[in-house]
Structures are given as C-alpha cells and as structure tokens.
Amino acid sequence: MIAVSIIGILAGFAVPNFRLWLKSLRLDEAVSVLHASVLRARTEAQRTNSRVSLCRTGDVYAADPDCDADITGTSTPVADQDWSYGWLIYTTTDIAVDYNPGLGHELIAAVDTRTGDKQVVINSSADVPTHFTFGANGRISTGNPTYAICDDRNGGEHGFRLTFSTTGRPVVENFEDLAIANRDCTP
C-alpha cells in the first residue's frame, strides 16, 4: 500500500510537468519551423537572384496549393494573420502576388506547421497579414512583417516573436526576454 501511495504522489507531480514539457516542445518546434522556412526563402532568393515569397494557407496538401486556402477538410477560411495551418514558399516575378503556377511561379515547399489544433498560434502583423516577399538581395520587399508564436500559458503571454533585421535576417526573441508591457500573441 505504501509503495502504491508513493507512486501515486510521484505521478501527481510528474503529470503537470510532462504537460508543460509537451507545450514547450510544441512551441519550440513551431518557432524552429517558421525560422527555418524564412531562412530557406531568403537563401533561395539570394542564391537564384530572384524573388521568393511566403504565403499562409489552410491546405498545404492540396493538389494545387493556394494562398489563403480554406482550412484543410472544411470550408472555413483561414483568418487574416493566422499562419497556424502552414504556408507556401515559392518563386515569383512580382512582390504582391499569391502563388500561381500559371504566372511562372515555382513551388519550393509547402510547410505544414501541425499547429492547426491551436495549441500553438502563429500570427502575423497587420501590415503583412497574408504573404511577404524577399528580393534577390535577401531583403524583404513587402512591408515589415512580425510574427508572434505562442501557446495558451499565462493567457497567451508565453512565446516568441520573429522579426527581421534591415538586411532581411530573421531574429527570434523570447517574450520573457523582451522589455515590453504587451507580450500577448499579437505581434
């Protein structure tokens, strides 16, 4: 009986810590995937001396993926600024054009973030809600996007912010390291 009681007490401490660890793991993975995708797009733009765009989508598995596509398996549109379902990386000839193979765009990658369950939320800033483009010099040609990647801990105050330097390099900052009062999931 004593052994069972001790195991029960230890399990009581372990389960909440395990849940916290899983949340941290999901959040870290989402940040890593977004950061790696942005680096890939920037590098590809510089390597090929062309423009490369990222746009959010709700269905990365579509036969012909589309920016702003409905959420996979539903007719629910992806909310403006919500990148939680994934994105497309593609070459383009213009800076404000959604992915369209008919215009000569080449799909580089369709990235599934696997955060559509809303355990991790990825939101973009209002000035660049649906897509942005890197020029051949590696700089962003469309606005100045900012992303908030967060989970539900502390009312959405736990997470990361991804911004861009003047040269186009992505910069990831932990909310806890930021000296700002507003650390919610709005970039």
Residue 184 has pLDDT above 70, yes or no: no
- For 98-132, the pLDDT digits (tens) are 888 888 889 999 998 865 556 788 888 877 778 88
Closest CA to 154 of 30, 34, 23: 23
CB-based contacts of 136, cutoff 8 Å, min separation 6: 45, 46, 48, 49, 50, 51
Mean pLDDT of 161-168: 89
Give just the sign of the alpha carbon dihedral 99, 102, 104, 108: positive
Q: What is the pTM of this model?
A: 0.83
- pLDDT surpasses 60 at 33: yes
Domains and their CATH numbers in the chain: 2-177 (3.55.40.10)
* The token pair that represents 36 in the structure block: 């790696």
Which of 36-45, 53-62, 151-160 shows the highest mean pLDDT? Answer: 36-45
pLDDT at 42 over 60: yes
The segment with the largest mean pLDDT, out of 49-58, 156-165, 176-185, is 49-58
* pLDDT band at residue 41 under the 50/70/90 scheme: very high
How distant, in Å, are the alpha carbons of 147, 152, 170 from that of 160? 8, 13, 12
186 near 149, Cβ under 8 Å? Answer: no
